[in-house]
Structures are given as structure tokens and as C-alpha cells.
Amino acid sequence: MGKKEAKLEDALDILGVKVAKGSSATLSFNVAKLHTQNRIDVPIIIARSRKPGPTVLITAGIHGDEINGVEIVRQIIAKGINKPKIGTIICIPVINVFGFIHMDREFPDGRDLNRVFPGIQGGSLASRVAFQLVTEILPHADLVMDFHTGGAGRFNASQVRIVQDDPKLEELANVFGAPFILYSNNLSKSFRNTCQKLGIPILLFEGGKSFNIDNSITNTGVNGAKRVLNHLGMLGAKFKVSAPKNPCIKIKESKWVRAKFSGMFKSSVLINSYVEKGDVLGNITDPYGSFNHFVKAPNAGYVFNINESPIIYQGDAIFHLSLDVNNDQIRITENL
């Protein structure tokens, strides 16, 4: 076999393009146009080493308003972290480019992309994008790192979400080193659920809130990705890898604290805080100075989600507390 034939045999055949070892490419897939007939392409950035190794898919922007996840992947590309020492790294910074353009969580058809996987070739617009991602991109991946942020004004502490009793994911989540590991079941028709069904391990990172870029969250996401790539032998030699500042806090059970009243809301605790049962978490007031309700912790635990909306309604989720953690009341700081 000649050098040219061997090169083609080793090429990554993706979206009809062959990307050889040791080369990089920016591809795009297009499933529809805007109503103005302008093309909307989803860029896919591929970098390959000459040396064989795993293929890691790094994604963000499944929800168009989750900007912090997009920023994490942008930095991974801009800093050259995506150029592997071995194997291949595929980055898709904005999957839901339609939503990203309009600063909207959903697709123009009103559907949540993360609830239509694995998609249908002739289905809705969101379903078609999911189908193409699953059939054209996902089969190449040995590992997925998918970056999200909190929605509806709720700020998530940096956390990696995985299913329980999966030793491979457990290992990788600990390597990532986010402050929290949250064990949660896969949602039906989600990207994470589809990856699991296909036997592809996926780390889902959550941090920050929609329409916001938080430097601490971004640093945690970028450094976590570096640790995982370093663990796989893929990180370039010029990059330094720091150990997490604190051990990962593992959460198997949690509880939402919901507002008992409507009104103006202000939190008095910081994200990542450990609180005791009965501690004041925040207060709800009215605009007229006649009402002031203190929200108290129903149990001891870590606060890993805070609703930052200044106006809330009765029943709104305002705090997310761990239930089953016993870590001697360790006060953690954001892992960088």
C-alpha cells in the first residue's frame, strides 16, 4: 500500500469530507435556511494528530441562550487546547445556531433540541438537526463533553452530571474536577440519553446561567476539559494542568426549595455554600414595604443552584440543596 492510499485509509470521513491524520478542518452541516433564504451553517472544528488515539467530541449551545457553555468551547479552540497530541478532537461550539442568533432556548419551531434526540430525518427542524448530529457526527466519538448552563435565571454551581453505577463516567467525572458531581437519570429523548444508548460515555457540564458569561464558571469548564484530555494523553505538552482546589462533592439526592409567596426576591447565601437546617437563605418582599418573608433551609446541605430573578411567583424554584452529603461542612470555592 502506497503512502497516499494509507493516508486516505486513515482519514476521518465526516460529512462527506475526508480529514487526514495530522490535519485540521472546519466543516459545516446545513439542514435549513432562514425565511430570508440565507443559509445557516453549524461550524464543526476538527483537529487531528498524526498519532492514533481516541476521538473526543466537545459540544455546547444545544440551547441557544446558554452562552457560557459556548464561551467554554470557544476558549478551548482559541487557546489551541483542541489540537490533540494523539487522536482527534471535534468541537461544535453552537449546535442550536438558530436559537443562538435569536437568543432563544428553543428552535424556531418552538421545540427544545434536547428533547427530540435521536431525531428524525424528515421531522421538525429541531428533529432534523438532532438526526444529522446523531448519524453524521456522533458515531465517530469515543467520548463526549457537553457544556450547558442554568435556565430561567437560575445560576448553577459548576457540576458534572452523570448516571450512577458507571465506573468509566465516575472516573472521568472525578478527573474533570468540578466542585460537584450530580448523579441524575438521563431524560428521555435527550442528547445524553442517546449517547448512553449508543454506548458513548458523556460528561454533561452545567454552570452559570443563561444570557451570562461568568469567568469562574468558564475557567472551571476549560480546566476540567484540559484535565480529561490530559488523562487521555491528548493534551498538548505546552498546557499546564492544575489539580482541583477541593475534592468533588458527590450529590445523589437533592431538593428544590420553592417560593411560598410571590414577590421581590433576594438571596443571602452564595452559590456552593454549605448551610444548616433553619439557616436563612434569602427573603421575599413586596414593593410596598408591608411584607418580608425569610426563606429558610429545610435541611442541611450544599446550595448548588440559586434563582437570581428579582421577581418570583409562588411555587417558583429558588434554591437547589443537596440532601445526602456529609462532608464535615467543607466550604468549597469554585474549582479553577
With a cut of 50, say whether residue 329 has pLDDT above it: no
231, 264, 290 - which closes a domain: 231
pLDDT at 241 over 80: yes
List of residues 6+ apart from 303 with CB closer than 8 A: 157, 269, 270, 271, 272, 273, 274, 275, 281, 319, 320, 321
| Least confident interval from 23-32, 115-124, 294-303 | 23-32
Does residue 37 sit in the same domain as residue 110? yes
d(CA 139, CA 146): 15
- Tell me how far apart the alpha carbons of residues 19 and 11 are, in angstroms, rounded to a whole number: 5
Over residues 177-181, mean pLDDT: 97
Strand partners, 301: 275
On the question of pLDDT at 35 being above 80, the answer is: no
Omega before 93 cis (within 30°)? no
Say whether pLDDT at 141 is over 80. Answer: yes
Residue with cell 472546519: 26
C-alpha span between 318 and 159 (Å, rounded): 18
84 in a structural domain: yes
Residue that terminates a domain, selected from 168, 199, 231: 231
Give the span between the Cα atoms of 293 and 25, in whole angstroms: 57
Whole-angstrom distance, CA of residue 228 vs CA of residue 172: 7
Give the CATH number of the domain where residue 18 resides: 3.40.630.10
Per-residue model confidence as pLDDT tens digits over 216-229? 999 999 999 999 99
**Could you tell me if residue 243 is inside a domain?**
no
Residue 268 shares a structural domain with residue 216: no
Which structural domain range is residue 224 located in? Answer: 3-231
Same domain flag for 60 and 100: yes
| Residues 80 and 221 both lie in one domain | yes
pTM of the model: 0.93
> Residues 6 or more apart from 245 whose CB is under 8 A from it?
332, 333, 334, 335, 336
- Tell me the pLDDT tens digit for each residue of 46-97: 999 999 999 999 999 999 999 999 999 999 999 999 999 999 999 999 999 9
Give percent of the chain above pLDDT 70.
93
pLDDT of the residue at 8: 53
Note the pLDDT of residue 36: 78
- Output the pLDDT for position 331: 46
Does residue 10 form part of some domain? yes
Of the listed ranges 39-43, 48-52, 187-191, the one predicted with least confidence = 39-43
Single out the residue in 199, 231, 263 at which a domain terminates.
231
- CA separation, residue 176 to residues 124, 152, 180, 228 (Å): 35, 26, 10, 6
In a domain, 249, yes or no: no
